Structure 1
């Protein structure tokens, strides 16, 4: 065997292995992005109603509608979940908001909570649009507040561009999926591999509704500076709530008093401002 062959064959084998890894990542990347609980979700129970949403591409999605308790603000909050679990994990948030007079719609994306289909950026956009239509029909298009959690902040931002809300709440938003993935997988060319992009920082400038950006200062999943970048690029009036010491899934960022209070304050500002 020549010296050249001795050098070339290991190099070729390395290149082939890397190519295979990249191909597998391309094919399986959505397994690294979406972490659904796929089992059906039980009925919502007292204070809520089980509803079914129909997407533009014909999927039927499970959802829960929670009625306002005591005072009715005649405002609806549409909650776009993050990339894990199902709507049951957002029920404490919904109950807190319903207790403060909001109508709240929780829904699961395709592939989550027993729903048919598989998640993707375009698919989640269709799911959110179906949820928006349902809530807007109940409370009026100008009375809908969009709430997005983490990846759901990207879903809510895109929806806000297409259907301007009364207000927008972004909890732990990232600048873009490539940016946040690059922080967790710095050894991979994620910018070239990603099929789903979720460009929040690029879209938020087109949203003129009052916006609240909430993040934890100790977030190890979405770097706090990315949430601040989103706030800096907002196209409308923006309020920032930095929850000191909070990590991505801490209770204070799920349904904490600071979060709920900031949402109530945003809603009151958004609905008290005089129309042009």
Structure 2
């Protein structure tokens, strides 16, 4: 029996090595899930073009306050998660615009009809381009910008906050780093050794001096609540950590629910954007 097991060992090793090789080659296909089609422009949004340092032109939407709402001259830069496109974040943008905030819905390279393919460095360039648009063409002061990151976008927003400090930072359902988040779904893979894109949120949030709010659901099965709590604990200037009871990762409450909108309002007030 022992000899039979030993004879089968090389085949098992070969299968494991093959799985690891496939994970290395195709890893970004299981990290990024873009909606590649160009979404129709909503009546309340304005189409804008962002210019990245590596030569891409990215479509994005700016959603200003409606005419009957006082413009607070404060912008919220929204970095969405790893799936969909800017169109899926319109409920959030509409709700925040109704509170006097201008919202820029960033779509990454490869998302929403944009050219290119997503990578960690590429998404950093995209976020830089979004900020440059806001303080340049849109005319917002740097101290009137709030960064809003959701899920994977929390890594994008946190990295941007380290490079270019905002007035405030809101992280919705953050993970500590991509390997930790991925291990929930792929516990059998050596992700820390394999991943090319790492997105170290907990490490970088220690360098963010701006007021920071972390919001997450207690029933999140994609990003464990313990990871979001760890990010909150690591934040250098945590204003609030808000746990939404019984909320899952993709629940509607994380688009325009009362807890999330109150968190943005609280952050805006904390940075003098009332």
TM-score, normalised by the number of residues in structure 1: 0.94
Q: Which of structure 1's runs of 4+ aligned residues deviate more than 2 A?
A: 3-10
In structure 1, which of residues 15, 34, 37 is the aligned counterpart of residue 35 of structure 2?
37
SS of residue paired to 2:46: strand
* Aligned pairs (5 A) from 1:98-113: 98-113=97-112
Cα deviation, residue 228, structure 1:
0.6
Residue 13 in 1 paired to residue 11 in 2?
A: yes
Inter-partner Cα distance in structure 1 for 2:121 and 2:132: 17
**Corresponding position of 1:62:** 59
1:154 maps to which residue? 155
> Is it true that 1:184 corresponds to 2:173 in the alignment?
no
Q: Which has the higher mean CA deviation after the structures are superposed, 106-115 or 235-244?
A: 235-244
Q: What is the alpha-carbon distance in structure 1 between the residues aligned to residue 242 and residue 24 of structure 2?
A: 36
Task: Look up the match of 1:144.
Answer: 145
What is the RMSD of the two structures over their aligned residues, measured on CA atoms? Answer: 1.6
Give secondary structure in 1 for the equivalent of 2:240. Answer: strand
The residue that corresponds to 2:174 in the other structure is 173
User: For 1:85 and 1:23, how far apart are their aligned partners in 2?
Assistant: 27
The structural deviation recorded for 1:7 is 5.5
What are the superposed Cα offsets for residues 119-162 of structure 1, whole Å, 9 maximum, x if unpaired? 11011000111011111222111111000000000100000000
Equivalent residues of 1:208, 1:237 under 8 A apart:
no
Write out aligned runs for 1:1-276 (5 A).
9-45=7-43, 47-69=44-66, 70-137=69-136, 138-271=139-272
Q: What is the CA distance between 1:71 and its match in structure 2?
A: 0.9
CA distances 1:47-98 after superposition (whole Å, capped 9, x unpaired): 2210111111011111001112311111000000100000000000000000
- Secondary structure (helix, strand or coil) at the match of 1:139 reads coil
Q: Find the aligned partners of 1:90 and 1:258 in 2 and give their Cα distance.
A: 16
Q: Call closer, same or farther: CA 1:4–1:258 in 2, change over 3 Å.
A: closer
Deviation at 1:209, TM superposition (A): 0.4
**Partner Cα distance (2:2, 2:63) in 1:** 71
Aligned-partner Cα distance in 2 for 1:224–1:6: 45
CA distance in 1, matches of 2:14, 2:142: 53
Q: CA deviation at 1:237?
A: 3.6
Q: Distance in 1 between matches of 2:10 and 2:266?
A: 61
SS in 2 for 1:104: strand
Query: Which runs of no fewer than 5 residues in structure 2 stay unpaired?
Result: none
8 Å CA contact 1:44–1:50 kept in 2: the answer is no
Distance, in Å, in 1 between the alignment partners of 2:201 and 2:2 is 50
> How far apart, in 2, do the equivalents of 1:174 and 1:240 lie?
14
- CA contact 2:72–2:273 (8 Å) conserved in 1: no
For the Cα contact (< 8 Å) 2:184–2:222, is it kept in 1? no
User: TM (normalized to structure 2)?
Assistant: 0.95
The CA deviation at 1:44 is: 2.8
